[in-house]
Amino acid sequence: MTSKILIIYTGGTIGMAPSDAGYKPQSHFADLVKTSLNSTAYKTLAPFDMIELDTLIDSANIQLHHWTDLAKLISDHYDDYAGFVILHGTDTMAYTASALSFMLNGLDKPVILTGSQIPLIQPRSDATNNLLNAVAFAREPRIHEVCVLFDNQLLRGNRATKVHTSALRAFDSPSCKPIGHAGIDIEYRANTALPAKPKDFIIPTLTPSVSQLVLYPGISNAVIDAALLDPTVKGVVMSSFGAGNPPDSNEHLIASLATASARGVIIVNITLCHAGEVIQGAYATGETLNALGIIAGADMTAEAAFTKLTVLLSSGMSQEAIRSQLTQSICGELSNA
């Protein structure tokens, strides 16, 4: 059985260098790794291959087709490697990790995303530690899911979210404890492992049919209508207050939710809170959403809810099947489903 890892370099801070326009992703990352790491550290990466995307991405520019491309790249090379490491910018890493988790359903080997807050070429960079730890976890045969490795923490990819713009501990998993830790030893918490299931990769061409509606006091009718009533919108992730409560005194919001739901738009309700879950009906304001057929997103992150709905809507499933899947945990994205 091979122990070779495939490292996929997409861009991001980890490989950036200064330019006249600020930091930009640089090509030939494999050479940079070889010259930046000491010989002992470099040897721990082996055996590995590296693929560098033809067009490197600042992750703020990530598009839906990039997720499809990455999923296909892993699928095409799946049988050749023990695991995969994706080097990615931090801004949208949690989105990419979540999207890949839903497209690469039924993994039996690790896919680990990592990056850095400080470029590899800079003093005090966190890149070396993150890269070495990601590769170590990518060789852990008990891991069969998509993860984010950052600052010694291994997080379930579809439970991770970026929580700090500049701290080295940039990611957290508010409703799911870390599933591994890199200290003196590389520790995988096997009791957190997802149940094994058959490989069932779903890699559709993703279509931009999901909008996000973030509620706030005094939200305007125009903002509501743009998210809910655009005819190209097939799904909406609504972020509401507390345990899933909308302002039910806002007649325009409730009417627009009803109109969108009646024309078949699938609406998932998540909380604006950092942790906890949506319990529609705990308050009368939330019960209004139950009556409209809006799905309680429980403790899904915004990234997981958006990417799950996007993948499902792009997969050709029936509305009934999609609604059912949204209330079930496909790959660990929900705590109690």
Compute how many other C-beta atoms are within 10 angstroms of the C-beta atom of residue 103.
Answer: 25
CB 210, CB 233: distance < 8 Å: yes
E strand residue ranges, 230-303: 235-240, 266-271, 295-296
pLDDT for residue 282: 80
Per-residue pLDDT at 11: 96
Count of C-beta atoms within a 10 Å radius of residue 251? 9
Among 68, 90, 96, 271, the one annotated catalytic: 90
Identified catalytic residue from 13, 68, 285, 310: 13
DSSP reduced 3-state for 242: coil
Identify which of 306, 304, 311 has the alpha carbon closest to the alpha carbon of residue 329.
304
CA distance from start to end of the chain: 35
Q: Is 13 noted as a catalytic residue in this protein? A: yes
Residue count of the chain, please give it: 337
The SS3 assignment for 319 reads helix
Q: Coil, strand or helix: which one is 73? A: helix
* pLDDT given at position 197: 85
Any residues with CB less than 8 A from the CB of 87 and at least 6 apart, and which? 7, 8, 9, 10, 11, 12, 14, 15, 29, 114, 115, 131
Q: Is 96 a catalytic residue?
A: no
Cis omega (within 30 of 0) for bond into 47: yes
Predicted TM-score (pTM) of the model is 0.96
Tell me the Cα Rg of the chain.
20
Rounded to the nearest 5°, which phi and psi values hold at 29?
-65, -35
Separation of CA 251 from chain center = 34
- Number of helices and strands (H, E) in the chain? 10, 16
Can you read off the two tokens belonging to residue 63?
């598009």
Angle between helix axes 64-76 and 93-103 (nearest 10 degrees) is 50
Q: Of 213, 307, 204, give the one whose Cα is nearest residue 260.
A: 213
Domains, the chain = 5-192 (3.40.50.1170), 210-326 (3.40.50.40)
Has 165 been labeled as part of a binding site?
A: no
Mean pLDDT for each consecutive 10-residue tract of the chain (337 residues)? 94 91 88 94 96 95 98 98 98 99 96 98 95 98 97 98 97 96 95 88 96 98 98 98 94 98 98 95 84 96 99 96 97 89
- 59 labelled as ligand-binding? yes
Residue 91 among known ligand-binding residues:
yes
pLDDT at 285: 81
